[in-house]
Structure 1
């Protein structure tokens, strides 16, 4: 045991009180460390509290309860790395895959419920690994309080304190606090246009269409990345992350396109299964010419399908898709935000698509609908909706809503932050969306963000406490 440092205010200081920070705080307290969470907002929860609270995991008790007994972390790792074309950090991905199941079981001990009948394939995996939860954010907040994690609200850290090459604390509004270790869990940078331009240019290219799903969490501004940069931390994962599809009709979290639309690119061709999970749909949209497409539908589809709530909430999150709801669609048609035409050729002219191509595309689509199939992209639906009876409608669609930013700090297997040369920055840990080594080229499926927050949050809390308490 090292010499006791009597100048410490706390064993652990955690910058950011979202899911990763709370998980870290709970683990650190249970390891005997004194913990202070510095939260810029007036409440805890961060992006986690604004999410659908889905955890991506393999080999879980919830899967077994649902009759899935053969899923493994190895299978999850193979899927994640294959989807990313191996353009991802294997060490980070391996840790998340191996620790995803234990993280879920840990959350269950905190009172989080993972209904087995809610399990979904939230990416393009062969077995369902998306675990929608009930009460995740509240359980973390309540447990942190019960364990004695201290919290200072309205406290935005502006500097890391360094002594002899080691992080020894923080400065916030001129007040210095010292600790045996600091954990950065400030989330991503989805609410910072400046950082989006620098680190997520694909998102920035959409201009006014771009916003983040956690716009209601105002301090997700990239503070942790800036703090790391200020002391030489490596920034990895530039221009990676998750972009969700949106109609642009309102500032909502849509995530899923309604499967009853027919989607065409600016050349007039279909290019995807319209019901594809957001782990792939946004990437497909952004690979199209001009990075946009058009949702096309007809009058009977509008009347029937947009009022069918079966399509609205596949994750059981309680968050429907207001953009594609009947009354809003009618209002958007009336104010001209949705194009309306009496013929397909007229509609093609309004959206700038070759009319013969659009008519041919719709003809093939309708013929498939008549045979209850999709011979091009194999979309599965309980009922088909052809585009046949006017008036006809079209609305521009883009993938411009930031579900997760991918650029951020690099860490090792103990969640210790690395510098630009791959060396440890002593005393500094990080977890959650502030990391840049946990997404890779492709977002694997709904729940990977929560997986990162829980896995690396727990890891950072335990490792930092072992170091700080052992030296104090």
Structure 2
């Protein structure tokens, strides 16, 4: 049987380009097909945080960390309702993966290492040149190795012979290869896919939008292609949703300000408002009507609203604060946000129980003024002073977890990145990595950087295994 390439990779984000590099290094001829008019996928538009342990960057800061600690953390956070084999692989390989990216020219300065999960260990390695720098480094390395690429090529089918995937079809043209790797990313820009596989996100209707809205082909093509050959789709209703005020202006922000309090429809607090985005959106989505209201006063907003350090902890330049005075004032004038001279009145305007909100605010103010801390939810201002909510006018802003950071439903794979069908059998010749997977992330996002990190870890593995399959060579352990 004649072939055009040994390995075809569908998608050119971190997962796809990592797969292409490793497949080429294993001796395979490689073609990367990208639907967009440029390479890089969603990775190029990201903050460029990579989650890793036991790295040289951590050691530079004197941080001790281990693969065992990462494995135990992710398993515990998800109550062990995740795949131990995949989590173990990630824990073991995330450190070497980071060093591999450094070898490709990506810089991860020690002063840009951040807390990106809900532990006290800094594991969020921020690229000096953010997501674009990671994408460019991988693209350049692939090009230097002789990986071929085709832009503006949206794959619309897989070629199958005798139960094996043997290539792809795009725009009426067939390309044959004994190994095909799906690395098409998620489906955050597809309302139909969201309704089917991520209903918690779809619940918010046109208020929902994806961080990677500028990557137009994040449409779930990998799921569609996989299903066409009987692939199992798993990870139903999982992903990452970030908090967002219900304004027409849509800013990419990951955190609520530490100087407000959030109450549910019953007027009660339910979280430390300065929670990591690894958990904040989930907590909001678990409230009645999947929303909450931010309560704060005018002096606090004026004093703190222009401070963007909370909104963009990675200093990526992506965040523009929704909580600035000029923004809030505009939304009040439009009737979207509420302002009143008493807590009771602003609560009524928001449709909340006035007495419950008053009591919540009273208790919070007592904690801050008398005890100097948030005794109920242990909110840490992380350098931002906690202030009482006591001086009129007062504000109420509706907040929903409606910004899609990524989607986590998708294909099921083995630890060698082989795609499995609905009976858990391997579909020969088909591999997958990156956001198209539905079997890695659980009900809770482990932390900032696990999306790119897992894309590179499993992309590398997919490339190696796919190449050895195509070349009929033993797969290395």
Tell me the TM-score normalized by structure 2. Answer: 0.95
Name 2:82's counterpart in structure 1.
88
Q: Deviations over 1:141-192 (max 9, x none)?
A: 2222222221111111111001111111000010000012100000011111
Give yes or no for the alignment of 1:386 onto 2:380: no
Give yes or no for the alignment of 1:79 onto 2:81: no
**Any conservation in 1 of the 2:254–2:311 contact (CA below 8 Å)?**
no
Q: Secondary structure at the match of 2:373?
A: coil
Give yes or no for the alignment of 1:430 onto 2:432: yes
Q: Secondary structure at the match of 1:169?
A: strand
Give yes or no for the alignment of 1:375 onto 2:371: no
Give yes or no for the alignment of 1:123 onto 2:117: yes
Farther off after superposition, 385-394 or 317-326: 317-326
Offset at 1:324?
2.1
**Any conservation in 2 of the 1:264–1:271 contact (CA below 8 Å)?**
yes
Offset at 1:208?
1.8
Farther off after superposition, 203-212 or 267-276: 203-212
Residue 38 (structure 2) aligned to one of 43, 51, 65: 43
Name 1:21's counterpart in structure 2.
16
Give yes or no for the alignment of 1:462 onto 2:464: yes
Cα RMSD for the two superposed structures: 1.2
Q: Deviations over 1:421-463 (max 9, x none)?
A: 1111111110000001110121111111011111011111111
Q: Which runs of 5+ in 1 are unaligned?
A: none
**Any conservation in 2 of the 1:132–1:317 contact (CA below 8 Å)?**
no
Map 1:211-230 → 2, pairs under 5 A: 211-230=209-228
**Any conservation in 2 of the 1:85–1:441 contact (CA below 8 Å)?**
no
The aligned length equals 465
Name 1:182's counterpart in structure 2.
180
Q: Deviations over 1:258-286 (max 9, x none)?
A: 11111111111111111100111111101
**Any conservation in 2 of the 1:132–1:316 contact (CA below 8 Å)?**
no
Q: Secondary structure at the match of 2:223?
A: helix
Name 1:305's counterpart in structure 2.
304
Q: Deviations over 1:239-272 (max 9, x none)?
A: 1111111113222321211111111111111111
The whole-number CA distance in structure 2 between the counterparts of 1:41 and 1:242 is 24
Name 1:292's counterpart in structure 2.
291
Name 1:236's counterpart in structure 2.
234
The whole-number CA distance in structure 2 between the counterparts of 1:310 and 1:41 is 33
**Any conservation in 2 of the 1:80–1:444 contact (CA below 8 Å)?**
yes
Q: Deviations over 1:330-360 (max 9, x none)?
A: 2222222211111111101101111111111
**Any conservation in 2 of the 1:169–1:179 contact (CA below 8 Å)?**
yes
Name 1:200's counterpart in structure 2.
198
**Any conservation in 1 of the 2:308–2:320 contact (CA below 8 Å)?**
no
The whole-number CA distance in structure 2 between the counterparts of 1:439 and 1:321 is 28
Offset at 1:121?
2.0
Q: Deviations over 1:349-388 (max 9, x none)?
A: 1011111111111111112221321001111123122211
Name 1:154's counterpart in structure 2.
152
**Any conservation in 2 of the 1:25–1:35 contact (CA below 8 Å)?**
yes
Farther off after superposition, 134-143 or 352-361: 134-143
